[in-house]
Structure 1
Amino acid sequence: MTRDIAILLFDGFQLLDAAGPISVFECALRYRPGAYRLTPLTVGGGAARSSSGIALDSRPLSAMPSPDTVLVAGGEGAPSALGCGETLAYLRRCASASRRVVSVCTGAFLLAEAGLLDGRRATTHWAHSGEFSRRYPAVALDTDRIYIRQGNIWTAAGVSAGIDVALALVAEDMGEEIARRCAQRLVVYYRRPGGQSQFSSLLEMQRPDGRFAALLDQVRRSLDGAWDVESLAGFCCLSPRHFSRLFQSEVGMPPAKAVEQLRVEAARAALESGERSIQKVARLCGFGDAERMRRSFLRVLGRQPSSLLRSPADE
């Protein structure tokens, strides 16, 4: 069976929002030829110019009235597309007739404008969260998620997160093994869970040219190490006192707090990826035991580790 996947575009769309998922579906076709038919769509058909200036050829909406899946790209042209009644009507029809409706980045604005997200949880790119919440107060926006599935409606955070949600769609259609092979072929992480944060503590802490970049990388690679101040300072060939002063000045937090945040981030991702053993995660991430990890979670996230154990339907 061939599934029609419509990629809904507009002038000013973000190229990676479309090209990332398209590449995932194309890769899946290597393992199951004929499984998908990919069709870029615009209101009138023809060339859709991305914000980078690169254009993709498209067919009109009427060419595919009820695809299996419609994926709506985001981009700087989204605000103009919000006023297109034909586009909004098409999305409403697809919400009823299609198996899945998916948005990437500010494509969520189009779903919300069409009324498809009212009363639902959804996500979009963090940079647009304030505007989204003001425009669509009936949507339960959660910008601390890579993607969210609510029934047949999927929303993704944007840009590279479009790859993550496309891998999840392939996993649903063809199984985890083929999705894993696609991720390997595309040389991407397999696969960030929907609940993983859009933010990374490591990225927030370090500057690429900062003196502690190598140290933070090393800590994250070996979270179960004994990373007390003496060990951290020794890695940098500094005295503990001098190291602590420099670290606080550059990173903006004490060394112990930085290590704790990195451990919590890694533990959170593991639990949201499906790991069921809190004790195992606590050990691998350097907490030592589940109670220490619980206290750290409460300090950093304000929630218990057990609250992150989600079912697949919640992602």
Structure 2
Amino acid sequence: MQNIGLILYPGFQVLGLSMCATFEVANIFAQRPVYEITLLSETGGLIDTSAGFGVNTAAFDEQRFDTLLVLGDNVVRPVSAGLVDYLRESSQATRRIGSICTGSAALAEAGLLDGRRVTTHWSHARDLQKAYPKTMVNEDRIFINDGPIWTAAGMTACVDLSLALVENDLGVEMTRQISKHLVVYHRRAGGQSQFSVMQDLDPKSDRIQVALTYARQHLKADLSVENLAYVANMSPRQFSRVFLAETGKSPAKAVEQLRVESARLMMEAGDHSVDSVATEIGFGDQERMRRAFIRAFGQPPQVFRRAHRN
């Protein structure tokens, strides 16, 4: 049996406990006790959640765990010396150590993320990178596995991480069954973006908004700077300058991100081949779409296609 320790502290984000259901259902489908979960804290006893109610925990001791996961919080709190010491000591005998959301700060404080590729909630990612420059923070990933270290974005990403851990232990077929039972998507790929590109594009002027709306509705068309500038009733040079100032992206980069997001959604929502999606969304060919997917998600489109088929 694998012992999983979930490390809590006062005010931790209660949604993190939802990952317990993944391990619980894994035991059900395996028809044997594969996982045993222990809620841990530095002091033990009742620990308040972010929602205000408390959960009972066991204090740090000499017990060893196969997997240790530090849960996150709605804010970044100072990491206690006791937690840092516990993580450093446990890392020598623990197969996997991970974090959800701001729990990554505890791993970083213990020096476990030095030289590692990691992620956290997008709103805290830059602060984590600044505070711990030896880490390599990617703010736009659902989860990242780097050796024995597993880090995940915030909120519902804890479920994706728990499914990934089970898949690592018991295989993809088991996680398919578990995700279906939990009524969730069959584990979003770790390289998937944490949020929609449209949430990141918020131009101030109507002309740039009109051009973006046109692009979203005509992804298969020629969305060159010249054509988008014509839609916005601006010169290409002026359009490029204003677009970059208002969105933080060049028109070409924004169009690529719109196409990538639409292509991903098509493959997840229907029985579309990679080639047909590339044509329909305006990439023209599979190779251009493959390069765009790797830039955006760190994985080729075939990964999302296989996930849909499974």
Query: Which residue does the alignment assign to 2:53?
Result: 54
Task: Single out whichever of 181-190 and 150-159 deviates more from structure 2.
Answer: 181-190
Percent identity between the aligned chains? 41
Counterpart CA distance in 2 for 1:48 and 1:130 is 29
Kept in 2, the 8 Å contact 1:13–1:74? The answer is yes
Change (3 A) 1:204 1:113: same
Is residue 161 of structure 1 aligned with residue 165 of structure 2?
Answer: no
Kept in 2, the 8 Å contact 1:4–1:36? The answer is yes
Report 1:176-255 matches (<5 A): 176-204=172-200
Counterpart CA distance in 2 for 1:307 and 1:148 is 11
Aligned-pair CA distance for 1:29? 1.8
Is residue 114 of structure 1 aligned with residue 110 of structure 2?
Answer: yes
| Partner SS state of residue 195, structure 1 | coil
- TM-score, normalisation: structure 1: 0.72
Query: Which residue does the alignment assign to 2:5?
Result: 6
Counterpart CA distance in 2 for 1:31 and 1:173 is 14
Counterpart CA distance in 2 for 1:304 and 1:19 is 32
Report 1:299-314 matches (<5 A): 308-309=299-300
Aligned-pair CA distance for 1:268? 6.3
Counterpart CA distance in 1 for 2:165 and 2:265 is 20
Change (3 A) 1:140 1:73: same
In structure 1, what residue type is equivalent to 2:67? T
Query: Which residue does the alignment assign to 1:79?
Result: 77
Aligned-pair CA distance for 1:294? 6.8
Change (3 A) 1:53 1:270: same
Counterpart CA distance in 1 for 2:298 and 2:99 is 26
Query: Which residue does the alignment assign to 2:123?
Result: 127
Query: Which residue does the alignment assign to 1:20?
Result: 18
In structure 2, what residue type is equivalent to 1:189? Y
Q: Mind listing any 5+ residue stretches in structure 2 that lack a counterpart?
A: 203-208, 224-230, 234-245, 268-272, 304-310
Counterpart CA distance in 2 for 1:197 and 1:79 is 26
Query: Which residue does the alignment assign to 1:105?
Result: 101
Counterpart CA distance in 2 for 1:125 and 1:41 is 22
Counterpart CA distance in 1 for 2:145 and 2:297 is 21
Is residue 93 of structure 1 aligned with residue 92 of structure 2?
Answer: no
Task: Single out whichever of 195-204 and 124-133 deviates more from structure 2.
Answer: 195-204
Counterpart CA distance in 1 for 2:74 and 2:299 is 33
Counterpart CA distance in 1 for 2:103 and 2:297 is 32
Aligned-pair CA distance for 1:287? 2.9
Change (3 A) 1:294 1:120: closer
Query: Which residue does the alignment assign to 2:134?
Result: 138
Counterpart CA distance in 2 for 1:99 and 1:148 is 16
Counterpart CA distance in 1 for 2:8 and 2:89 is 17
Kept in 1, the 8 Å contact 2:104–2:151? The answer is yes
Aligned-pair CA distance for 1:70? 0.6
Counterpart CA distance in 1 for 2:47 and 2:297 is 46
Counterpart CA distance in 2 for 1:304 and 1:8 is 34
Counterpart CA distance in 2 for 1:77 and 1:65 is 29
Counterpart CA distance in 2 for 1:305 and 1:42 is 37
